[in-house]
Structures are given as structure tokens and as C-alpha cells.
Amino acid sequence: MSEISIKEAIAAGWASRATIYREIKAGALSVKKTSDNRSLVDTSELIRVFGEPRLRDSKDETNQHDARHSSETTENAILKERLEGLERDRMRLEREVAEAKDREAWLKQQLERQTNLLGQVAAQPSGSFWRRLIGK
């Protein structure tokens, strides 16, 4: 197969710079030095150690996954905020309903009291003030 530089191997997506140099140091990956002191690695060696290059595909998948994850996270945050707002509204409405029921009960009590007073006035004998006072 062909030989490529370590920089090209990194760009092609076989592994990171540190990983490639670690494998060279460990003896798992052989390197050929050129006359101008460049390091070349045979692509068959790269495939043997790292498998097929995956940076392009995995980077695209990672970017798509990150974009999906980011949009889902944003959507979840928005939905949580809306839910909290709805919960606050529900609690406020429950409080208002309870206050309205209390007001209604008080008003009913006042109405009954006024009705009783009117009944008492209607039951009193009619006539002039002096007649009612003296009782004749």
C-alpha cells in the first residue's frame, strides 16, 4: 500500500497525534524515515493498528448527535420552563377559587342576616311611632 505522513494520517482520521506516537513508541506501528527526515507510515500498518479511518464519518455522526442533543436539551429546558409557569398559574387559580368560595360564603351569610332583619321588621305591628311605643 501507500505511505503517508503522520500529519496526513491524523487528518484522514486514523487516530490523534498522541495516539499515533504512543503506538510508534510501543512498537505497534512502524515508521519509515525519508532522506529529508520526514516520518512516513504505511496505510496497511495504520489499518492493522487502528482499523479504517473513521474521523470523517464519526465526526459527522458526532456533530449530528451533538446537534440533536443540543436541540433536545434546549427543547427540554423550554418545556420545563413552560411547565413551571403552568404550575404557578394553576396554584394561583386554585388560590383565587378558594378566595372566591370564601367570599361567596360570606356574602350568603350577609344575605341571610339581611333577610332575617327584614323579616323581623315586617313582623312588627304597623302604626305610628307613638302607638308602637305606648303599645295602644
Per the document, the length of the chain is 136
The pLDDT assigned to 77 comes to: 84
CA 104 to chain centre: 41
Query: Could you tell me whether strands 39-42 and 32-33 are parallel, antiparallel, or unpaired per DSSP bridges?
Result: antiparallel
Euclidean distance between CA atoms 23 and 26, whole angstroms: 5
- In whole angstroms, what is the distance from residue 8 CA to residue 101 CA? 78
**Amino acid at site 99:** E
The pLDDT of residue 90 is: 95
- What pLDDT sits at residue 70? 74
Each residue's pLDDT, cut to its tens digit, for the chain (136 residues) gives: 588 888 888 888 888 889 999 999 998 888 998 888 888 998 888 888 888 876 554 455 556 666 677 777 888 888 888 899 999 999 999 999 999 999 999 999 999 999 998 888 777 666 677 776 776 5
Rounded CA separation 43/94 (Å):
71
